[in-house]
Structure 1
Amino acid sequence: MTAVVELREFQTKNVSAPAPPPRIRQAISRDLAGRIDLQWLTDDLLRITATSWVGVARLPRGPSIHVRPKLAGSDLNVITMIGATGDIRIDDMPTIHQHVDTTTGDSAVELICQLLVSAAHDVMKRGVVRDYRAAGDDLTVMRGRLDLNRQASRHFLRVDRLACRYEEFDYDTTENRIITTALRLAGQLTSNTNLRQRASILYENFNAMAPTPFVYTPSIRNSMTYHRGNEHYRSAHVWSLALLDGISINKPFDDAGDRATTFMIDMNRLFEKFVGWLLGQMITDQITQIRAQGVNRSVLHSGDRPWGSIRPDYVVTRNGMRSAIDAKYKLYDRKSPSAADVYQLLIYSQAYRGTEGRPHSILIYPSEDSVSDFRVDLKPEGSILGSVSTVGIPLADLVQAVRSGVPLASTTTASALRRLLGLDPDTGDRRIGGHDTGQRHAGPAMLR
């Protein structure tokens, strides 16, 4: 039986494991670069260092490494974050835990596979949708319209073969291809025999209807629209794309026949997306807008020419005034934010002058507990040229509130963020997550 090694984000652990041949060792290190650091200290002693990626890596002829989330609290909380940022409706969030059985495996990949199989079964039960799709074939009789380019290049001067373009009304649609491809992947990733069998049966059913291979592109998520006819596909697509998109990796480390797969979730990227979703849930007035910001070249110049660019994660706009917000998935509740991050946010404050009319930007980071927020001012000779507010949000508690159906706009975290953004009058309440926020970190020490 394969040994299982568990560790938390950012943790280091030494375990007994035979060193593979150098070629395989290089392949493992290459494929896990930046996600898990593996270092064989001796021929049978392996040092594993986790980063901010969570998930499972099954090594060829070695242990199965399970990196648990630290700041998010649990794998189920991570799945909740994926569901929230993946378009699961807020009213459906409290039901996520009802579709998983943690006794058969509670890693992120197992939970997603369970949710996908459950959602795909629901789609099958409620009805697989058909739609028109573009198709083409060489026929003996005319159907649809003639494809002139294909006719001229392949059947020039022939009338017994016609290159036709037409629309087919069937099940081989993008909606069904996404689920088909994800079910095949789920069968490869799950280690649970029963779940693998269920995924395999569903895959055969969907593949019979939608056999055309699906090629994932990042734009597919934004191109999907849901209506009364296909609303029951929403959850299945969220969990399908969680397996297929850029936060998922599934490839063999060893090209010599030893299969080894990994499913790792980039918590940096997920936290950034989750902060944007949280802001949308917490800031509910009609005149405040929250948008992901593109590249801004208006701040840094060399002479009359732009020099470099900035790109904050989000920009909050109110009455024509804007504040920049950056999400940093770092352990800043135990140490002061780095000088580089503060300097970056100070530059943002010069580009986005703050919703209260003063140069101001905000850095949001996750905390295990409720922590203090504090402000750093750029203040040469007593004149404030810009300010950075940093605030730690109690991530695990907030995700738990999402799954419990608690309105996020009513939380003390929402109140603190609105105050920092100048959206609420300063009531003197300096609590985040219910705890007093006295200045925990000294400002000057942060810049050392």
Structure 2
Amino acid sequence: MWDNRVLGTALKAALSLTTDSRLARGLHDAAGAFPRPGTPAAALRALERTQYTRLNARYRPAHTWARLLLRGGGVTDLLTDDGTTAGGLLLAMPALWEAVVRRLATEAAVPRGGRPVPSNEGTGITVRGDLGSTSTFRPDLLLSLPAPGTDQHALLPIDAKYKRYDRHGVSADDIYQLLTYSAGYTPAEAPTAFIVHPQPGEYARRTLRIGSPQHDLGVIHVLGIDTHAPPEQASVWMRAALP
């Protein structure tokens, strides 16, 4: 069937794009289950002539991905079956959000005499004694802020989480991570850390207090930044939240 020949052609095209050996083996095995592939041009011509009915509607999602692979396109191609197009970019959103939060927090801290601590200042949390080499990790942003009532500066760890923490609670893994940062950088009598996440439509702030039967372990401030708001407003929210 031409439908299967098109899919075999798309799988062959996908095989040429991957650098992961396990994925390559999987694509090779899957392609072997389809008829001998034709040329990408012939497959695209067949797809352009496609009329979907109740009998072949099940092929529509696979054909959509075949077009995406064979055209070398992007998000714009995903809605062409419905007669509409969508403009967009494929972005690494966690990395982009981290850059946004880093700039936002820096702009909020500088007017108060604070500054970001560069990652090359040897301030990472270090793990020694495990198998392999020594490892180091640190939060997405480490701010140095004037300590209230003193002439000293204190460190504040901030982590950018590209997660919908306005819809569900903070995960246990993120709590463990932020508690480690607070124990590593902030005063023992007041361990504190910040999570900043996107919250389209409104700004929100809540405070998590973590403790054991023996003593308090730390405080994590969770800030939801309205991504629809102007950057100036987001900076005001951030500045108000900083200790």
TM over 0.5, yes or no?
Answer: yes
Percent identity over the alignment is: 21
* Residue 347 (structure 1) aligns with: 180
* Residue 99 (structure 2) aligns with: 273
1:317 aligns with 2:150: no
Q: Which has the higher strand share?
A: 1
Scaled by the length of structure 1, the TM-score of the pair is: 0.35
Distance apart, 1:329 and its partner CA: 1.2
Q: Amino acid of the residue matched to residue 327 of structure 1? A: A
Distance apart, 1:421 and its partner CA: 2.4
For residues 286 and 371 of structure 1, do their structure 2 counterparts lie closer, same or farther at Cα, with a shift above 3 Å needed?
closer
Distance apart, 1:277 and its partner CA: 1.3
Q: Amino acid of the residue matched to residue 365 of structure 1? A: H
1:107-129 Cα shifts (integer Å, max 9, x gaps):
45xxxxxxxxxxxxxxxxxxxxx
* Residue 242 (structure 2) aligns with: 421
Scaled by the length of structure 2, the TM-score of the pair is: 0.61
Would you say the 8 A contact 1:352–1:361 is kept in 2?
A: no
* Residue 27 (structure 2) aligns with: none
1:358-398 Cα shifts (integer Å, max 9, x gaps):
2111011111122532222231225222221111101122x
Distance apart, 1:282 and its partner CA: 2.6
1:19 aligns with 2:7: yes
Distance, in Å, in 2 between the alignment partners of 1:272 and 1:346 is 19
* Residue 81 (structure 2) aligns with: none
Moved over 4 A (4+): 28-31, 39-44, 61-64, 294-303
Matches within 5 A, 1:14-413: 18-21=6-9, 22-28=11-17, 44-46=60-62, 59-61=69-71, 64-66=74-76, 107=87, 264-285=90-111, 287-294=113-120, 296-298=123-125, 300=127, 302=129, 308-319=135-146, 320-353=153-186, 358-381=190-213, 383-397=215-229, 401-402=230-231, 408=232, 411=233, 413=234
Would you say the 8 A contact 1:324–1:362 is kept in 2?
A: yes
SS at match of 1:46: helix
Distance, in Å, in 2 between the alignment partners of 1:291 and 1:67 is 43
For residues 286 and 63 of structure 1, do their structure 2 counterparts lie closer, same or farther at Cα, with a shift above 3 Å needed?
closer
Q: Amino acid of the residue matched to residue 27 of structure 1? A: S
For residues 298 and 365 of structure 1, do their structure 2 counterparts lie closer, same or farther at Cα, with a shift above 3 Å needed?
closer
- Point out where structure 1 has 5 or more consecutive residues left out of the alignment: 1-17, 32-38, 50-56, 69-104, 109-262, 403-407, 423-448
- Point out where structure 2 has 5 or more consecutive residues left out of the alignment: 1-5, 21-29, 32-56, 79-84, 147-152
Q: Amino acid of the residue matched to residue 25 of structure 1? A: A
1:243-302 Cα shifts (integer Å, max 9, x gaps):
xxxxxxxxxxxxxxxxxxxx6321211111111111232334252112353564546455
For residues 371 and 416 of structure 1, do their structure 2 counterparts lie closer, same or farther at Cα, with a shift above 3 Å needed?
closer
* Residue 200 (structure 1) aligns with: none
Distance, in Å, in 2 between the alignment partners of 1:362 and 1:286 is 18
Would you say the 8 A contact 2:14–2:69 is kept in 1?
A: no
Distance, in Å, in 2 between the alignment partners of 1:48 and 1:340 is 36
Would you say the 8 A contact 1:333–1:392 is kept in 2?
A: yes
For residues 273 and 47 of structure 1, do their structure 2 counterparts lie closer, same or farther at Cα, with a shift above 3 Å needed?
farther
For residues 307 and 360 of structure 1, do their structure 2 counterparts lie closer, same or farther at Cα, with a shift above 3 Å needed?
farther
For residues 396 and 385 of structure 1, do their structure 2 counterparts lie closer, same or farther at Cα, with a shift above 3 Å needed?
same
SS at match of 2:7: coil
Would you say the 8 A contact 1:293–1:312 is kept in 2?
A: no
For residues 60 and 416 of structure 1, do their structure 2 counterparts lie closer, same or farther at Cα, with a shift above 3 Å needed?
same
Q: Amino acid of the residue matched to residue 140 of structure 2? A: D
Q: Which has the higher helix share?
A: 2
Q: Amino acid of the residue matched to residue 191 of structure 2? A: P
Would you say the 8 A contact 2:7–2:63 is kept in 1?
A: no
Distance, in Å, in 2 between the alignment partners of 1:357 and 1:417 is 24
Would you say the 8 A contact 1:333–1:368 is kept in 2?
A: no
